[in-house]
Chains A and B, each alone.
Chain A
Amino acid sequence: MKVGLFVTCLVDVARPGIGFAALKLLESAGCEVVVPATQTCCGQPGYNSGAREISRTLARKVLAEFKDCDYVVAPSGSCSGQVKASYAQDLFKDDPDRAEFEKLAAKWYELSDFLVNVLQVQSVPGRFEGTVTYHDSCSGLRELGVKMQPRFLLSMAGASVAEMAEAEKCCGFGGTFSIKLGEISTRMCENKCASARATGAKAIVGGDLGCLLNIEGRLRREGDHETKVLHFAQVIAGDG
């Protein structure tokens, strides 16, 4: 089974460790993983900023890069949401290539969803002692139905998950929103941090690096250097 890993642009630049954790998880489950070297970005920043043509061009590039894979997996609900819910349904709705994008969407999975529902893994390499709390990222949750999958994997790693109040509430990242409307974004993140901290968990775990950088940035600004902020892939791969 040939699985393409879509690293995501944020992971590539900011936290390559998450990419390697994903790689490790897929390989240890017996997948043949390919990582197309030319990959850059799914186009979502442009799409959500109104630059439709730019995002269409990038979508075609993604399609070309992963066309030959049986599956494509990304450690991000946000990028996966872009590919699965926006390419065929919106960007190429009236395009002759629509069917190609539908095929891409059908074989594209968010990492936790792939591990649980396609590979049906029964164990994970990582061990985590203690309590974590899980932040549901918006796209993964509402576009892809990612909810129990990461929690299931975390419990496989031995972590106990303490649910925070309003776990499904947006953290305020929203891509360029976090810069364009920074004050509102910061307040939303402040609320998220307060909910997370109230659980007493020693780590806040999520599935999208954008949210995680936002949450970590706010925690550190508030003077909290203790609480860890981790991608679930790091935790369950034992790289946390």
Chain B
Amino acid sequence: MQVQSMFFKRRASEKLADGLLQANMRKAKGKFVDARAKAVLEFGNWEPLRDYAAKLRDAALADLDAYLVEFERNATRRGSVVHWAETAEEACAIIVKIAQDNGVRKVTKSKSMVSEEVNLNERLEAAGVQVVETDLGEYILQLAHEPPSHIVAPAIHKSKEQVADLFTEAHGKPRITQIDALTREAREQLREHFLSADMGISGSNFLVAETGTTLTVTNEGNADLVTTIPRIHCVIAGIEKVIPTLEDFACLVRLLPRSAIGQSITNYLTLTTGVKGPGDADGPEQMHIVLVDAGRTKFVGTDLQEMLRCIRCGACMNHCPVYQNIGGHAYGWVYPGPMGSVLTPVYVGIENAGDLPNAATFCGECAVACPVKIPLPDLMRKLRERQFDGHLRPWSERVGLHAWGWLAMRPGLYAFATGWAARIGSWLGGRDGLIHSLPGLDGWTKGRDMPAPSGRTFRDLYRERQGKR
């Protein structure tokens, strides 16, 4: 996906003014949050589970190299071919080559965010391969030629009427707007593709090192069709997805669907290990697993490594008040919300996504919701430190911070300056005590008044009071 994160402010502003998007986001807002809260309550010992999972992910990351090698060994033993890609470009080249070597003309895909990262669809299409997204949300967006705006519910920004318009145009059938009928229509359209595809491409929620297993966690059943029917199955997954054992998966899957959508389990857990066995009625003849770096190693061994714990549940964005108001497209790349505000600057360069770490009030809701306890606000703050230290924020901000820091260390001067600021502020507030506009503070005063200071500082008044005593 083309990086647009440098235009975050402009895009956010457009989204705030987009009435239809705002209505769609309002409708979606509470659903995930309420469902998660209910599931967490019902679970009982949620916090010990989060603690355990965070440690489990950290332990896997601490031995990432060894677990990857073990995963490769076990997957290979079971007949899978493991490929390694350092960059997005390499990942695409590997998969295009697999398609070309096997005369693949049609690919069905189940949802994969890594494939969005690396622009896989575009590259396959350029090589003459038809790509059909089969997750309902992704299918809708493929028809709309739009990127996902949420990592779990890609089409969260669309209304059923918008979906109806897209389907009418693409399927040439009478327009319907009932959600169950739209879902049925998509099912019928996609069934054809499932049965005729030469290759299925899926992501993988986790890679199990112990067994060489890739796995998906889904509700629709599309990932099962994609991984069962075509003669070739290709998995594309980030290297950080590796976990040691099946028991670790059992633990993480208690967290993932509950955090994502408040379900105790997804309809399908699809574990695939190697190729079709002798006599098997179904399953692929070839299984390829592409392990992708594309920026992940930039987190390893740094003060941002905790980000690699992420299990892509989307709870951070569901709970984020900024995301709730602007939606995912404003963020300008694959990963929106708090997790994206940490991932994107590192993956695409902080100079291309400078606003993202700053697009947070540090309200902390994401950190509370995260099932693997990633301290998202802390990580965003660390990125802000990189920006400050690397002179990557506007000079005015930098000078302002230094001036403020200098002044705050000199109490006499500080008292003098704030004393005047309080008086001038009060005067600016006029009769109603409100400052309606102030140069340099227009970010505030465009949509709000600034309640004016009352005129004297606490320290002045307190000194007076002590003097009288």
Binding site for B on A (CB under 8 A): 7, 9, 11-17, 19-20, 35, 37-41, 43, 45-52, 54-55, 57-58, 61, 90, 138-139, 142-143, 169-170, 172-191, 213-214, 216-218, 220-221, 225
Contact = CB atoms under 8 A, between A and B. Distances in A.
A143 B375 CA distance: 12
The 9 A-B pairs at the shortest CB distance, nearest first, are namely A174-B361, A182-B443, A186-B447, A50-B388, A50-B384, A54-B405, A170-B363, A16-B458, A217-B448
A11 to B, nearest CB: 6
Contact of B401 (A37, A39, A46, A169): A46
Given A7-B459, A16-B454, A50-B387, A183 B447 contact: yes
Contact of A177 (B16, B358, B422): B358
Contact of A54 (B402, B418, B463): B402
Contacts of A220: 432, 434, 448-449, 451
A221 B447 contact: yes
Interface in B424-449: 425, 432, 434, 441-444, 446-449
Nearest to A7: B458
Contact of B409 (A13, A16, A50, A61): A61
Interface of B: 9, 12-13, 16, 321-322, 325-326, 355, 358-365, 367-368, 378, 381, 383-389, 393, 397, 401-402, 404-405, 407-409, 411, 414, 418, 421-422, 425, 432, 434, 441-444, 446-451, 453-454, 456-459, 461-463
Contact of A13 (B386, B388, B421): B421
B357 to A, nearest CB: 8
A177 B405 contact: no
B341 to A, nearest CB: 12
A230 to B, nearest CB: 12
B324 to A, nearest CB: 9
A163 B365 CA distance: 19
A169 B321 CA distance: 7
Contacts of B404: 45-46, 54
Given A181-B355, A183-B446, A16 B456 contact: yes
A15 B9 CA distance: 32
B388 A218 contact: no
A46 to B, nearest CB: 6
B16 A187 contact: yes
Contact of B322 (A7, A14, A179, A184): A184
A172 to B, nearest CB: 6
Given A14-B422, A184-B322, A220-B451, A178 B444 contact: yes
Contacts of B463: 37
A217 B355 contact: no
Contact of B362 (A54, A138, A190): A138
A181 B9 contact: yes
A50 B385 contact: yes
23 contacts: A9-B408, A20-B458, A37-B459, A40-B411, A40-B414, A48-B362, A55-B405, A57-B409, A58-B405, A61-B409, A138-B361, A138-B365, A142-B363, A142-B367, A169-B321, A177-B359, A179-B441, A183-B16, A184-B322, A185-B443, A190-B447, A217-B448, A225-B432
Contacts of A185: 361, 443-444, 447
